[in-house]
C-alpha cells in the first residue's frame, strides 16, 4: 500500500498508529490531523504528575516535530476535522481545507462528560492539557476541593489534591464506586484508602446542585446536606467524539462501530482506533469500546498491521489492561474482573505499604482477570496466563509462589 493514510486525532491512538504504519513499512504519505494546536501529548499524567506540578508539559509530549519529520509524518495540528466524505475519500477540515486519502483512521478519542451543573467558574472537568492546567492553577490557591465521581480519574485527582494539602471530599452515588469494576470488597477497601489519607467520602449520595463561583462554591447533595468548596472537579465519565461523523453515513453507536479487524462496518478503507472505536471482540463475542491507554497502543499496532496486510487480516482480541495510581496504591488490573463469579485474595492488603493481588475466576474456573496493588510481578504473571486461557487455580498458585521473592 503506497497511498495516503489520513489519521484523524493526534493523541496516543493517532500518534501510535502513524508510527506503527512506518514500522509496518507503509511507504506512502501519513497525515496526522489534530484539533489541538500544541504537540501531541499523553493524558495519564494529567491527573497525576502533571497535575501535581512534578512534571512539566515537555515530559508528556508524545511526538516532537523532529520525531514526526524523521518518521515522515505530516502534522496538521490546530484545526479539527469537520466531516468525513467516505465516498469521495476526503477529510474536510474546519478551515475549509480538504485532505484526500486512500485510507482514513479515526482516532478522535473521547471527551469528558460535561458537568450538568452550570456554574460560571471553579467547576472543572479533566480531559485535556488545558483542563489540567486550569485545574492546577485553581489548586494553587488554598481551600477545600470536592470531587464528584469516585472512578479512577476522580480518585486520582482526590489523591493529588490531598497530597498538595487541600481538604478533599469525594462524592459518588454508588456506595463503592470502584466496586462496579472490581467487586464490593475491593470497592470498600478503596473507600478506606481515601479515608486513611484524610479524604472525606460521601458515597451512595448524588449531587443535587452546585452554586457560587470559584473560591466560593456550595455543593448540595441529594440527601440535603451541603459541602463548601473552593474548587469542584467533575469526573463522571467520557463520551466518544463522533459528532464530526454525523453526516458521514458511518454506523455510530457508542463509538464508531467496527468489525473484528477494526474497520468501520461495510468499509475497507475506514478504520477506528482507541477510545472512539467499538469493535467486535473475537474472543468475547461482543462489541466493546475500551477507554484505556494500553488498548489505544495495542489497537494502533493492529490497525497499522491490517491496513498494510490486506491479505492477512488479524482479528483484534486484546486482554484488557489498565493501571491507576492513587495515594500509596499502584493499582493494575488485567482482564475482566467484572465478569467474574469468584475471587481470591493473595498477599497483605493491610501491610505498609500494602501488597496484594486478587485473582478472579469465571463460571468455568478459568482465570477471568486479576488485580494487583503494588505488585507488578504478580500482574505480569496473570497477564501472561490470561493470554493462554489458564485456570484461576493455576494463576493463584503461581502468584502465591511470588510471595517469596527469588534471589536475583
Partner 1 sequence: MPRLTADVELCQGYGNCTTTASDVYDVDDDGKVVLLRQIIDDADRSRVEEATRSCPVNALRVLDR
Ligand X SMILES: Cc1cc2nc3c(=O)[nH]c(=O)nc-3n(C[C@H](O)[C@H](O)[C@H](O)COP(=O)(O)OP(=O)(O)OC[C@H]3O[C@@H](n4cnc5c(N)ncnc54)[C@H](O)[C@@H]3O)c2cc1C
Which residues would be at the binding site for partner 1 (CB under 8 A)? 16, 19-20, 23-24, 42, 44, 293-294, 297-298, 301, 321, 323, 325, 330, 332, 374-377, 379-380, 383-384, 402, 405-406, 408
Nearest to ligand X of 8, 63 (CB atom): 8
Beta strands in 175-215 (DSSP E): 200-203, 207-213
Q: Does residue number 240 form part of the binding site for ligand X (CB under 6 A)?
A: no
Distance (Å, whole) CA 209 – CA 119: 10
Closest approach, Cβ 104 to ligand X, in A, equals 12
Partner touching 205 among partner 1, ligand X, none, CB below 5 to 8 Å by kind: none
Partner touching 375 among ligand X, partner 1, none, CB below 5 to 8 Å by kind: partner 1
Nearest to ligand X of 47, 392 (CB atom): 47
Partner touching 298 among ligand X, partner 1, none, CB below 5 to 8 Å by kind: partner 1
- Strands laid side by side in the 286-288 sheet: 256-258, 277-281, 286-288
Number of residues forming the site for ligand X (CB under 6 A): 37
For residue 353, whether the previous peptide bond is cis, meaning omega lies within 30 degrees of 0, is: yes
Q: SS3 for 26-57, per residue?
A: CCCCEEEEECCCCCCECCHHHHCHHHHCCCCH
Q: Does residue number 329 form part of the binding site for ligand X (CB under 6 A)?
A: no
Nearest to partner 1 of 171, 301 (CB atom): 301
Q: Does residue number 294 form part of the binding site for ligand X (CB under 6 A)?
A: yes
Partner touching 33 among partner 1, ligand X, none, CB below 5 to 8 Å by kind: ligand X
Burial 205-225 (b: 16+ CB within 10 A, else e): bebeebebebeebebebeeee
Q: Does residue number 55 form part of the binding site for ligand X (CB under 6 A)?
A: no
Question: Looking only at Cα atoms, what is the longest distance across the chain?
Answer: 63
Nearest to partner 1 of 120, 408 (CB atom): 408
Q: Interface residues with ligand X (CB under 6 A)? A: 8-14, 33-36, 43-44, 46-47, 80-81, 107-110, 126-127, 153, 241, 244, 274-276, 291-294, 296, 322-324
Amino acid at each position: 500500500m503506497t497511498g495516503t493514510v489520513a489519521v484523524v486525532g493526534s493523541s496516543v491512538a493517532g500518534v501510535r498508529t502513524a508510527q506503527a504504519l512506518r514500522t509496518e513499512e507503509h511507504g506512502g504519505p501519513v497525515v496526522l490531523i489534530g484539533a489541538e494546536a500544541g504537540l501531541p501529548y499523553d493524558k495519564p499524567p494529567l491527573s497525576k504528575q502533571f497535575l501535581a506540578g512534578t512534571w512539566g508539559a515537555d515530559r508528556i509530549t508524545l511526538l516532537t516535530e523532529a520525531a514526526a519529520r524523521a518518521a515522515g509524518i505530516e502534522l496538521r495540528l490546530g484545526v479539527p476535522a469537520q466531516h468525513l466524505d467516505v465516498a469521495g475519500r476526503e477529510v474536510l477540515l474546519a478551515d475549509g481545507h480538504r485532505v484526500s486519502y486512500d485510507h482514513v483512521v479515526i482516532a478522535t478519542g473521547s471527551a469528558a462528560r460535561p458537568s450538568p451543573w452550570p456554574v460560571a467558574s471553579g467547576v472543572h472537568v479533566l480531559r485535556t492539557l488545558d483542563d489540567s492546567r486550569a485545574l492546577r492553577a485553581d489548586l494553587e490557591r488554598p481551600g477545600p476541593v470536592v470531587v464528584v465521581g469516585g472512578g479512577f480519574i476522580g480518585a486520582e485527582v482526590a489523591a493529588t489534591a490531598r497530597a498538595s494539602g487541600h481538604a478533599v471530599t469525594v462524592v459518588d452515588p454508588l456506595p463503592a464506586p470502584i466496586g462496579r469494576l472490581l467487586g464490593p470488597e475491593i470497592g470498600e477497601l478503596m473507600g478506606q484508602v481515601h479515608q486513611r489519607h484524610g479524604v472525606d467520602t460521601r458515597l451512595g449520595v448524588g449531587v443535587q446542585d452546585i452554586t457560587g463561583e470559584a473560591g466560593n462554591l456550595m455543593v448540595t447533595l441529594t440527601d440535603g446536606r451541603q459541602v463548601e468548596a473552593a474548587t469542584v472537579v467533575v469526573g463522571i465519565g467520557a463520551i466518544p467524539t463522533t459528532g464530526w461523523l454525523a453526516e458521514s453515513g458511518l454506523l455510530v453507536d457508542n463509538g464508531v462501530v467496527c468489525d473484528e479487524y477494526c474497520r468501520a462496518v461495510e468499509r475497507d478503507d475506514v478504520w477506528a482506533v482507541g477510545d472512539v472505536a467499538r469493535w467486535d471482540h473475537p474472543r468475547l463475542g461482543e462489541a466493546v469500546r475500551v477507554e484505556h491507554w494500553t488498548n489505544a497502543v495495542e489497537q494502533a499496532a493492529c490497525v497499522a498491521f491490517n491496513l498494510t496486510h490486506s491479505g492477512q487480516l488479524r482479528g483484534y482480541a486484546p486482554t484488557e489492561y489498565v493501571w491507576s495510581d492513587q495515594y500509596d496504591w499502584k493499582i493494575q488490573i488485567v482482564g475482566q474482573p467484572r465478569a467474574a463469579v469468584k475471587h481470591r485474595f493473595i498477599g497483605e492488603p493491610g501491610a505498609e505499604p500494602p501488597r496484594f493481588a486478587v485473582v478472579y475466576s469465571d463460571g468455568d474456573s478459568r482465570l477471568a482477570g486479576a488485580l494487583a496493588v503494588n505488585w507488578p510481578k504478580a500482574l505480569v504473571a496473570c497477564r501472561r496466563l490470561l493470554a493462554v486461557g489458564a485456570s484461576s487455580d493455576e494463576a493463584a498458585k503461581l502468584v502465591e509462589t511470588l510471595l517469596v521473592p527469588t534471589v536475583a
